[in-house]
Amino acid sequence: MDKNSKIYIAGHRGMVGSAVQRILEQEGYTNIIGKTSKELDLKDAVAVKEFFESEKPDVVIDAAARVGGILANNEYPYQFLMENMQIQNNLIDQSLKSNVAKFIFLGSSCIYPKFAPQPLKEEYLLTDSLEPTNEWYAVAKITGVKACEAIRKQFKKDFVSLMPTNLYGTHDNFDLKTSHVLPAMLRKFHEAKKNNEPVELWGSGTPMREFLFVDDMAKSVVFALENVLPEHLYNVGTGEDLTIKELAETIQKVVGHTGKIVWDSSKPDGTPRKLMDISKMHQLGWKHQVDLEQGIKKTYQWFLQNIENFKEVKI
Under DSSP, is residue 271 helix (H, G, I), strand (E, B) or coil?
coil
Measure CA 279 to chain center.
Answer: 19
| The residue type at 234 | Y
| 69 in a labelled binding site | no
Under DSSP, is residue 251 helix (H, G, I), strand (E, B) or coil?
helix
| 106 in a labelled binding site | yes
| 109 in a labelled binding site | yes
| 269 in a labelled binding site | yes
User: Catalytic one among 8, 137, 168, 300?
Assistant: 137
Q: What is the dihedral of CA 106, 310, 301, 248, to 10 degrees?
A: -70
- Is residue 112 annotated as a catalytic residue, yes or no? no
How far, in Å, are 112, 188, 269, 275, 301 from residue 117 at the CA level? 10, 32, 18, 9, 36
| 126 in a labelled binding site | no
| 13 in a labelled binding site | yes
Q: Which secondary structure element, helix H or strand E, spans residue 147, and what is its range?
A: helix 135-155
Strand partners, 172: none
Strands 273-274 and 208-209: parallel
| 143 in a labelled binding site | no
| 11 in a labelled binding site | yes
| 202 in a labelled binding site | yes
| 17 in a labelled binding site | yes
- CB of 267 closer than 8 Å to CB of 203: yes
Crossing angle of helices 15-26 and 214-226, rounded to 10°: 60
Strand partners, 199: 261
| 164 in a labelled binding site | yes
107 contact partners, CB below 8 Å, separation of at least 6:
141, 144, 145, 161, 162, 163, 164
- What secondary structure does DSSP assign to 165-212, as a single string? -EEE-TT----TTT--HHHHHHHHHHHHHHHT--EEEES-S--EE-EE
| 281 in a labelled binding site | no
Backbone angles phi, psi at 124, to 5 degrees: -80, -5
- CB of 75 closer than 8 Å to CB of 134: no
| 180 in a labelled binding site | yes
| 14 in a labelled binding site | yes
Annotated binding site for substrate: 188, 202, 209, 269
Query: Active-site positions?
Result: 137
Annotated binding site for NADP(+): 11-17, 106-109, 141, 164-167, 180
Annotated binding site: 11-17, 106-109, 141, 164-167, 180, 188, 202, 209, 269
